[in-house]
Amino acid sequence: MSFKRLFQRALAAAPERLHFAAHSHHLWPDASYVGQLAAWDDAARLADRKWERVMGQIWPAGQHHVATELRLPDPNTIVFAPNTHDLLLRIVSALPQHPLRILTSDGEFHSFRRQAERWEEAGAASVERVPLTGIVKRAQSGEHDLIFVSHVQFNTGHVFENLAPLAQLSRPEGPWVVIDGYHGFMAMETDLSGVADRLFYLAGGYKYAMAGEGCAFLHAPPGYGPRPEITGWYAEFDDLAAAPGRIGYAPDARRYLGSTFDPSGIYRFVAVRDMLDDEGLTTATITAHVDALRARLLADLPLGAGLLNPGSPARFVALRSPQAQRWQAELEAQDIITDVRGDVLRIGFGLHQDARDVGRLVEALKRL
């Protein structure tokens, strides 16, 4: 089955390209173009009054889609921001302990890795890094203020299966558990209903949500961090009970808001999710499509490389080889887009591909 009709603009823009890096930059479906135009049209039509539509209709629609996807009991625990790094800084600023004692895995994405190293350098935090399989046991020591781990590791596709045991350790006074869900959100079915009251969850639209940048989000459990130190004026909306002279905060996840932002990413996200609903496409059905493509590649894979993530629900295969850098460069010269991390070649799959694309990729791999 092919869903290329949903991606006509992106595919027509580079008709000879084979894009196998949906885990890095997912191609945008045509619905995202409609969402982008709607953002522009609303700004032109409503001018200053556009924020009534953004915060009164588009924002709640985005919250609803995220909450539905993650099985969250209350959409008001969702707040949007331009990127997850902004939200991470606000989370950390809300923790009562400083300097921080951070526990994390040894395979986190560059954004958190770099920030954690800088906090260490500045003396703002001590950071302990352990293998993914050792996170829960080490967290049980009670020696940390913040526990940060990816649901799906970006480099290998390994999945952290122990959200519930980790969430049980979380308390409003600390420690806090933050899950980086970017490589899991809309790549695999995720049910946070049983842990929504105890853990933070970060993700966004850039990858499998197919909505592009500018639409990151945070699920913030009630009672955790009512007054972040890093804050913008949007965070004070609806705090009608604030005492005179006191800096007020919204009573829901908007307490983690910053200031004026570009809402077009949320428009795109809502438009894409609405399209998926109209098409009857869920994360489960998209996963079935992607899994078939992945299985076909692995059945015919001509490369002598080690598969790092067999059986993983991640929408990419991670292949370790000393030739990974060369392979990626030679594929790119043929306008076949993959990506490489050190000695790991990653080949990713998305809704915009079909079996013919995989066949063309296999033929190209044979020539490497």
Q: Looking at this protein, which amino acid is placed at residue 285?
A: T
Asked whether 56 and 62 are in contact (CB, 8 A), the reply is no
Tens of pLDDT along 168-225?
999 999 999 999 999 999 999 999 999 999 999 999 999 999 999 999 999 999 999 9
Residues whose CB falls within 8 Å of the CB of residue 213, separated by 6 or more in sequence, listed in order: 82, 83, 204, 205, 206, 265
In the Cβ-directed half-sphere of 205, how many Cα atoms lie within 13 Å? 28
DSSP classification of residue 221? -
Position 238 pLDDT exceeds 70: no
- The domains located in the chain, with CATH, are 4-28+281-366 (3.90.1150.10), 32-276 (3.40.640.10)
Position 77 pLDDT exceeds 80: yes
Task: At 245, list the tokens.
Answer: 């002279």
Q: Looking at this protein, which amino acid is placed at residue 303?
A: L
Threshold 0.85, pTM exceeds: yes
With tokens 């409503």, the residue in question is 46
Integer CA distances (angstroms), 115 to 106, 228, 292, 341, in order: 14, 18, 37, 19
Distance CA 302, CA 131 (A): 31
Distance CA 196, CA 76 (A): 12
Asked whether 36 and 215 are in contact (CB, 8 A), the reply is no
